[in-house]
């Protein structure tokens, strides 16, 4: 359904607009990540490791909002690709620490560039100031 064909009352509801924008963003991100040979989860995991440092699988999943059953598969892929390394946690031998590798840091930069292009495509009708304002408003609404 095109926006112009949607009822005016519907188009006036922020929740409906957010849902439509989210669906479009999800599609664009999926397509771009697939073309780059990655997944959105890869970016989230690598970004968390860069920002917070080595951590457990459980904690990374919590930070990124990724279900533990998906985390296992994502970490397996990232480990096989050399983007993360697993090592025993010196404070708790029952768990592993996940660490960002130098190759993973480079991959994070590549995926970040890919996502920046998606942001530009998704929000091309907005000025940079409007994009910043939208981001701040959405962050505030979600806080």
> In this structure, is residue 52 part of a structural domain?
yes
> In this structure, is residue 102 part of a structural domain?
yes
Q: pLDDT tens for residues 29-49?
A: 999 999 999 999 999 999 999
> In this structure, is residue 129 part of a structural domain?
no
The predicted model gives 8-24 an average pLDDT of 93
Contact between residue 24 and residue 118 where contact means Cβ atoms under 8 Å apart: no
If one counts the domains in the chain, the total is 1
Q: pLDDT tens for residues 52-85?
A: 999 999 999 999 999 999 999 999 999 999 999 9
The per-residue pLDDT for 4 is 73
**CATH label of the domain that carries residue 104:** 1.10.10.10
> In this structure, is residue 61 part of a structural domain?
yes
> In this structure, is residue 25 part of a structural domain?
no
Encoded tokens for 47? 């970004």
Domain enclosing residue 85, as ranges: 38-118
> In this structure, is residue 99 part of a structural domain?
yes
> In this structure, is residue 10 part of a structural domain?
no
């Amino acid at each position: 359904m095109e926006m112009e064909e949607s009822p005016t009352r519907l188009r006036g509801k922020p929740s409906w607009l957010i849902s439509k924008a989210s669906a479009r963003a999800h599609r664009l991100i999926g397509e771009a990540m697939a073309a780059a040979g990655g997944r959105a989860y890869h970016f989230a995991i690598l970004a968390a490791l860069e920002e917070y440092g080595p951590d457990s699988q459980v904690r990374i999943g919590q930070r990124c909002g990724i279900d533990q059953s998906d985390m296992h598969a994502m970490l397996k892929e990232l480990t096989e690709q050399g983007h993360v390394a697993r090592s025993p946690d010196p404070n708790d031998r029952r768990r592993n620490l996940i660490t960002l590798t130098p190759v993973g840091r480079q991959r994070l930069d590549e995926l970040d560039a890919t996502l920046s292009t998606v942001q530009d495509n998704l929000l091309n009708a907005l000025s940079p100031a409007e994009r910043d304002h939208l981001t701040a408003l959405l962050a505030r609404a979600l806080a």
